[in-house]
Amino acid sequence: MRISILGLGLMGRALARTLVKAGHSVTVWNRTEGKADGLGATSVATAAEAVEASPLVIVCVLDYAAVREVLCSVQLADRVLLNLTNGRPAEARELTEWVAARGGDYLDGGIMAVPQMIGTPGALILYSGSQPAFERYEEALGALARPRYLGADAGLAPLYDLAMLTGMYGQIAGFLEAAALIASEKGSVTEFTTELLVPWLNAMAAAQPRWAVDIEAGDYATDVSNLEVNRVGMVNLVRAFEDQGVKPDLLLPMQDVLDRRVAAGHGAQGLSSLIEELR
């Protein structure tokens, strides 16, 4: 297929390289020259030329404002614009109308992978927006990553993307706090992580699907440690950090949510009930 890519940062280059390797005819454009070297793609001087070259146009730039800036003077008639730029659901819905007003069809995408993962079995890209456009190009897009279509609302891909990133950042925050605590006694962070923390977290993750069912049912009864027990435990945890000279900054927001939930009279519920403080 003929596919154009606008934006050749680390991710854009990975997308182009993978599509070329899969046998597609790839045209690329970047604001600065030289980024197309070694990709095996056809480089053009303007975004308009790139859009004219292919019925599927993939844009991967810094943000949605940059998407509009790049395409502001380009006609999109009979083109599918696939936006693989990170952004918000509201921005994706606005861009759908913006593209439609210029005669194009819109797909939004959330890349759940780093550039080195593109084209490997572990990569995932979430899609939402025009279902006919997705179905037309699903096979070609499968060369990049496992495609998962979420629905016709273009805002769904960025919503799920941000939700998955939220889970990742929460995990990173917990790891960094734990590593800082171990390092405060000059313990081996590597040994702690590989031999203790990761195996334990993998075991604990098995509870999350059950929590998801409880959240959807609004049933927060628990047969393990309840919120009051966890509230007291968090107080001890924060004090231990302070004793060790380690900042508990990434834990304090969760302590605040725990305190609010218990103060509201829900101390007997499980941790999954904290979602009610976030709604």
Q: Tell me, what CATH number does 104's domain have?
A: 3.40.50.720
* Residue 93: φ, ψ to 5°: -70, -40
Count the neighbouring beta carbons within 10 Å of the beta carbon of residue 163.
11
Residue 19 lies in a domain: yes
**Cβ–Cβ < 8 Å for 227, 257:** no
Give the domain CATH number at 207. Answer: 1.10.1040.10
Render pLDDT for 218-264 as a digit per residue (tens, 0 to 9): 999 999 999 999 999 999 999 999 999 999 999 999 999 999 999 99
Tally of structural domains, the chain: 2
Same structural domain for residues 134 and 90?
yes
Q: pLDDT tens, 120-155?
A: 999 999 999 999 999 999 999 999 999 999 999 999
State the residue range of the domain holding 78. 2-152
The set of residues, in sequence order, having a beta carbon less than 8 Å from that of 27 and lying 6+ positions away, is 2, 3, 4, 5, 41, 42, 43, 44, 49, 50, 53, 54
Verify that 37 and 124 share a domain, yes or no: yes
